Structure 1
Amino acid sequence: MRDVSTLVSKTDELTYKVPVGLKRVPWIETLLLSSEPSIRSIEDTVKLEKAFHDASLFAVKEGYRRLAALNVPAVRPGDFLAETLRDDRTMAKVKAKLADEAARIKAVEDRKRVQAEKKFAKKGANKQQKKKFQQTPEDDDLKNLKTLEQRKDGGYSGKAPKSKAPKSKAPQSKGGRGPGGPKGGKGTKRSDGGKGGVRKSLFKKTSGGGKSSRGKASGRRFKAFFLA
């Protein structure tokens, strides 16, 4: 059962009384030191262990200073580390937890940095794409006009488009082989109005004015075949 009044009275009884003739209790009688700041939360073990370390370090430095001022010899024992409150196993766990906490913090920072870089790269790509889409046909026409002016001035170093000029084809006749043409092709049109080339001239009628017989016509064709 919690009895506040009794606890307060006992605390007053245990309090070190000020000696007669002095204003306060000499520090050498109690060796009491208080460190700041106080621990606000005991849930975070990392901050709790750091607070213990800072309080111990402050007490040691301040205690040595006061002992030196009072000319009291003070030497740290040789086995001081063996007399600590926590054993090596506990301190190893604390060290491992501190290392794990530092690794987590670093992982979070790296993740934030990567996300920021991706966001910046995406923003730049979207800006370039938006600029490309905003380009109007008038801009293309202006660019083509500048290119044409450079070509006219002779300062354009790029490749000019090939001109597709229509090729002139000589009229050919539909008969046998013309002079200089492939076998079975179309002969060229004669200047005198004829279409058959040499074969046409060989098949002309004789000066007699009458029609030739079938035998003579076949002979002429045979002769024209070898002359062609």
Structure 2
Amino acid sequence: MTQQDRQRIAAGLVGGLSYAEIGRRLGRPTSTISREVGRNGGPAGYRPQQAHRATVRRAHRGTPAPSSAAGVPGSAAEEEIIEMAVRSGLPRTTARVHVDLLLSEDGRRTAAELTRRLKVSPASVSVAVNFLVQNGYVRRERDPQRRRDSYVIDDDAWYNSVVISSRQTLDAAQAAMAAAGTIGLDSPVGQRLARCAQFLERVILDTMESAGRWRALLS
């Protein structure tokens, strides 16, 4: 948990938010927020900077995190990648699921494995993987023998995620152009919407063309 997360927890407590609501906004389980607050002064005494320093001290007293089986550096490197994903807009739990799949040996996990490894609820994993599947970051594979789904991240995921995101933005551009026509292209608002739509359309079409052109690099 970052110092910024702890500041948001403190702000949520001051604002009278429940642990569940604070957890939802941070992409964390309610139990994580409850433990964080409980061991750092409680709802009335929680101070984000003090909590962060205390956590750092506890970490220094612990043992170093082991490297992963794939030879990828341990938790410090993983946390850095997760923070980058969160800054790009992914909810934290979704980012953790994505990175865990990304750093796995064969790029696949079951929902049960993700739940166990990340120590989050099955419901949180379900929400995260559904988002990742819908946006092309991972794909779902059915294992007919074990009657369970596996979630897979492979090289094509990068191309698929770019295409899906581009199509969504292109839909927004077309909606803006339609609105401009309805309002009237001779009005300031209509002209503004039309310029926005044209800009987005040209950029997205270039992006999709570039993704197709360089897709061979992934194979």
Q: Is TM-score (shorter-chain normalized) higher than 0.5?
A: no
The structure richer in strand per residue is: 2
TM-score normalised to structure 1 length: 0.25
Structure 1 or 2, whichever has the larger Rg, is 1
The structure richer in helix per residue is: 2
